[in-house]
């Protein structure tokens, strides 16, 4: 028996046929035709799924469900809202049921499905409750409670990246100030490094050598590399990043007390720097400091988490 997982991103759509062990046995993809609109995207997905089934001679009766991870949220009436795709209350579930009347159709936020995949087959395997935090351009969150994804009463929950955890020198894309993702994303690291380097009397920094003096070229990898060279500015940027990461995780522990907090996304490649001392930093901020609390681990499924998680939504 197989299920199909579809990971819809802002630029590309990844589709996989997944077996019961969470292994992607066939995969294909297409680009996301945002300009073509909702109907074009659905028709492209339809084409790719029919092609995978045909090319691999899969008996359609062997496929249980098609699940989708969306870069936005799906409300309780099955309507999808995705800013990057210009989707505002599009009739997602009904349209897909009309396109694929032979299969069960399910959908959830992309970070939520990635969290589900980690909980079933990845870093949080064998746990009943876990939270995935994805540290990338922004910060995403996926909450799993008793083995099921949780996105709240109205579908708009688990937006961990928009927990407000302090005052910051720039506003979040969502319009608020002080969101977790404005302290702990790659964007946050870049902006804070640029701010420190622009200050009067800023010390000289390896970051400037690596970006050839053009601070608009700084990326998070440059800052982590400079940190490894004991660079003063990089150490300040990473110290701030980790301080707020610890505060954010402490808020999650205080609220949900999950068994596992998994860290994924592009920044998790620097796991040596991120995990070093992090658990003790979190302990300083939690309420019950003498009790055991969540294991803090690095996510293991990488970019496949979206496809795998979408395939097990049923």
User: Which chain residues interact with Zn ion by CB under 5 A?
Assistant: 162, 172, 174, 176, 179
| Closest residue by Cα to residue 184 from 117, 131, 136 | 136
Comparing CA positions, the residue from 163, 223, 224 lying closest to residue 197 is 223
Considering the complex, state which of residue 112 and residue 187 has its C-beta at the smaller distance from Zn ion. 187
The nearer residue to Zn ion, 159 or 259, going by C-beta atoms, is 159
- CA 9/CA 44 separation, integer angstroms: 13
Nearer to Zn ion, 184 or 301 (CB): 184
Calculated CA dihedral for residues 306, 311, 312, 314, nearest 10 degrees? 130
Nearer to Zn ion by Cβ, of 128 and 173: the residue is 173
Minimum distance of Zn ion from residue 174's CB (angstroms): 3
User: Whose structure tokens read 């070229």?
Assistant: 217
Considering all CA atoms of the chain, what is the largest pairwise distance in Å, rounded to the nearest integer? 69
What is the layout of strands, in order, in the sheet containing 129-135?
148-150, 139-145, 129-135, 260-264, 295-298
Cβ distance to Zn ion smaller for residue 119 or 251: 251
53 or 179: CB nearest Zn ion: 179
Rounded least distance, CB 135 to Zn ion, Å: 15
What backbone torsions phi and psi does residue 32 show, to the nearest 5 degrees? -90, 110
261, HSE (Cβ side, Cα atoms, 13 Å): 26
Q: Smallest distance, Å, CB 261 to Zn ion?
A: 20
Listing DSSP states for 5-39 in one string gives: EEEE-SSEEEEEEE-TTS-EEEEEEEE--TTTHHH
Residue 166 CB, shortest distance to Zn ion, in Å, is: 12
Rank residues 176 and 287 by Cβ distance to Zn ion and give the closer one. Answer: 176
Which of 68, 183 has the CB closer to Zn ion?
A: 183
Tokens read off for 170: 């720039």
Are the C-beta atoms of 69 and 106 separated by less than 8 Å?
Answer: no
For residue 151, the minimal CB distance to Zn ion (Å) is 17
CB of 187 to Zn ion, least distance (A): 11
Complex with Zn ion: residue 162 or 191, whichever CB lies closer: 162
Q: Are strands 80-82 and 148-150 parallel, antiparallel or unpaired?
A: unpaired
Instruction: Give the CB-side neighbour count of residue 98, counting CA atoms within 13 A.
Output: 7
CB of 177 to Zn ion, least distance (A): 8
Instruction: Residue 215: name the closest of 184, 235, 189 by CA.
Output: 189
Smallest distance from the beta carbon of 27 to Zn ion, in angstroms?
33
161: helix, coil or strand? helix
In the complex, least distance from residue 265 CB atom to Zn ion, rounded to whole angstroms: 16
């Amino acid at each position: 028996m197989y299920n199909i997982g579809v990971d819809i991103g802002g630029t590309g759509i990844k589709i996989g046929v997944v077996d019961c062990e969470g292994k992607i046995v066939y995969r294909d993809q297409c680009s996301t035709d945002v300009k073509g609109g909702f109907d074009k995207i659905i028709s492209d997905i339809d084409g790719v799924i029919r092609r995978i089934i045909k090319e691999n001679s899969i008996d359609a009766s062997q496929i249980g469900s098609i699940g989708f991870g969306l870069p936005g949220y799906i409300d309780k009436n099955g309507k999808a809202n995705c800013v990057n795709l210009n989707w505002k209350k599009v009739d997602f579930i009904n349209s897909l049921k009309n396109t694929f009347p032979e299969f069960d159709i399910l959908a959830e936020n992309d970070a939520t499905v990635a969290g589900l995949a980690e909980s079933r087959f990845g870093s949080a395997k064998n746990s009943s409750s876990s939270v995935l935090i994805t540290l990338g351009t922004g910060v995403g969150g996926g909450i799993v409670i008793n083995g099921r994804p949780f996105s709240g009463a109205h579908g708009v929950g688990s937006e961990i990246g928009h927990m407000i955890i302090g005052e910051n020198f720039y506003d979040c894309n969502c319009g608020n100030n002080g969101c977790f993702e404005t302290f702990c994303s790659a964007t946050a690291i870049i902006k804070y490094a640029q701010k420190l380097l622009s200050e009067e009397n800023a010390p000289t920094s390896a970051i400037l050598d690596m970006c050839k003096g053009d601070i608009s070229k700084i990326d998070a990898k440059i800052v982590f590399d400079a940190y490894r060279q004991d660079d003063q500015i990089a150490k300040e940027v990473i110290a701030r990043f980790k301080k707020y990461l610890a505060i954010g995780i402490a808020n999650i522990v205080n609220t949900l007390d999950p068994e596992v907090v998994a860290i994924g996304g592009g920044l998790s490649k620097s796991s040596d720097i991120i995990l070093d001392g992090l658990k003790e930093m979190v302990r300083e901020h939690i309420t019950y400091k003498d009790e055991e609390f969540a294991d803090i681990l690095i996510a293991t499924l990488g970019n496949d988490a979206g496809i795998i998680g979408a395939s097990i939504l049923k």
